[in-house]
Amino acid sequence: MLEQFIYIADMIGVISCAISGVLVATRLRMDPVGIIVLAAVTGIGGGTLRDMMMGATPVFWIVDNNYTYVITITAILTVFWLKHIHRSPPYLLMILDAFGLAIFTIVGAQKALALGFSGPVAIAMGCITGVVGGMIRDLLSGQIPFVLQKEIYATASVLGGVLFVLCSYLEFTPILAMSIAISGTLSLRLSAIYWHLSLPVFASDREA
């Protein structure tokens, strides 16, 4: 049951992030190849780097082709949907990103603990899984990634990783631990979006 829960959650995260990649690609008027590329890197980029860093190879989407099928189908359906509504809601990208961030963070942290890595490493792997796909998407589209701005983004991911590791050490059931951590990450990120919460920024007026 745990494996099924993780698999379904991971797929939901992939779909959410793939849609966000399509939203960015269509706003920039990319061709079909560009749309698929942005959908793919957003959906599986973080997990790919995570697996490579932990030596969990071949990486998950090479072993399970369902990930590539889901990304491709999601991209096609999203393009048709966008053509039908003509314009997507302004906050849709950030909301989808929030769901992907929350799910991927906990899936990444869970995999690290399952492979025997320490709590701090699990938190780091969760953060990498959560933020890297969006970073690659934004860099490819010529934007400053959310994680490098004042957005409460990586902070929410770290919170989720810490919650999951603590719940695991307290011997909560894995599904309960993941649910609590996902809820914590998602709540912080959505609250930051809704109330325009942000981290302080630092700037210098001095010239180099």
What is the per-residue pLDDT across 137-152, written as a single tens digit (0 to 9) for each?
999 999 989 888 888 9
**Taking 90 as the threshold, does the pLDDT of residue 90 lie above it?**
no
As a whole-number percent, the residues of the chain with pLDDT over 70 amount to: 97
pLDDT of 205? 62
pLDDT of 208? 47
pLDDT of 206? 57
- Segment 120-127 shows an average pLDDT of 98
CB-based burial label for 60 (10 Å; 0-12, 13-18, 19+): middle
Read off the pLDDT of residues 45-85 as tens digits, 9 standing for 90 and up.
999 999 999 999 999 999 999 999 999 999 999 999 999 98
- Segment 80-106 shows an average pLDDT of 92
DSSP 3-state assignment of 205? Answer: coil
- Segment 116-138 shows an average pLDDT of 98
Q: Give yes or no for a contact between 21 and 112, defined as CB atoms under 8 angstroms apart.
A: no
CA distance 180 to 162: 11
- Segment 91-97 shows an average pLDDT of 94
**Taking 80 as the threshold, does the pLDDT of residue 130 lie above it?**
yes
CA distance 65 to 208: 50
Domain boundaries of the chain, sorted by first residue: 2-195
Read off the pLDDT of residues 145-190 as tens digits, 9 standing for 90 and up.
988 888 899 999 999 999 999 999 999 999 999 999 999 999 999 9
Q: Is the dihedral of CA 147, 106, 136, 81 positive or negative?
A: negative
Q: Give yes or no for a contact between 47 and 59, defined as CB atoms under 8 angstroms apart.
A: yes
Residue 125: pLDDT band with limits 50, 70, 90? very high
Q: Give yes or no for a contact between 119 and 169, defined as CB atoms under 8 angstroms apart.
A: yes
